[in-house]
């Protein structure tokens, strides 16, 4: 069975994702002109988005990745956040842009932003491909948002279910029978 057979609908097409990256890249370029931009991707979900996004950012930047988890292989957050892979560079006096795939409950990103703030960057902003405010449990807002979405279980373009579906070139709604069967 192909991955796409488990998708109920395409929520955001490849073409729409390309336009989102172009728009966000232009905004970030304008905001970070003359600054010490340090882009941090939150693994694994942001990998595809960040790779496309940075090609639209036209200012010098450094890159690094970290990994946090509050989901495991489930469909909802456990509420307990773990830092799995940390950054390799100091953040002092850098203008930090955290790139994430989705802002939903806010638990993970709130933990992450607090952790990074303690390292004294000059500034911190958050860029998320998707914002799902219906699931918010923590008062947190992104500075750059690709698209706001309804409360649906989505996969593709880096987003996964049980570590699968990340390689879909679009964002689709996973059929409930896929994750309700487990």
Give the separation between CA 33 and CA 145, rounded to whole angstroms: 19
> Considering 52, 95, 101, 104, which one is annotated as catalytic?
104
3-class secondary structure, 152: coil
Residue 102's CB is within 10 A of a number of other CB atoms, namely: 23
Active site residue 139: no
- The contacts of residue 70 (CB under 8 Å, 6+ apart) are 77, 78, 79, 80, 81, 82, 105, 107, 108, 111
Task: Enumerate the active-site residues.
Answer: 104
């Amino acid at each position: 069975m192909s991955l796409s057979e488990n998708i109920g609908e395409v929520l955001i097409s490849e073409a729409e994702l390309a336009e989102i990256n172009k728009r966000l890249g232009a905004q970030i370029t304008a905001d970070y002109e003359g600054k010490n931009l340090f882009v941090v991707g939150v693994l694994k979900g942001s990998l595809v988005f960040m790779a496309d996004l940075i090609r639209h950012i036209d200012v010098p930047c450094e890159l690094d990745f970290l990994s946090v988890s509050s989901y495991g292989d489930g469909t909802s957050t456990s509420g307990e956040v773990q830092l799995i892979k940390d950054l390799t560079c100091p953040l002092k006096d850098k203008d930090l842009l955290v790139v994430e795939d989705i802002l939903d409950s806010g638990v993970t990103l709130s933990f992450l932003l607090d952790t990074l703030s303690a390292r004294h960057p000059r500034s911190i902003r958050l860029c998320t491909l998707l914002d799902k405010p219906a699931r918010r449990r923590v008062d947190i807002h992104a500075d750059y948002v690709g698209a706001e979405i309804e409360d649906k279980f989505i996969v593709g373009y880096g987003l996964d279910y049980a570590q699968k579906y990340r390689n879909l070139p679009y964002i689709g709604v996973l059929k409930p029978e896929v994750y309700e069967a487990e």
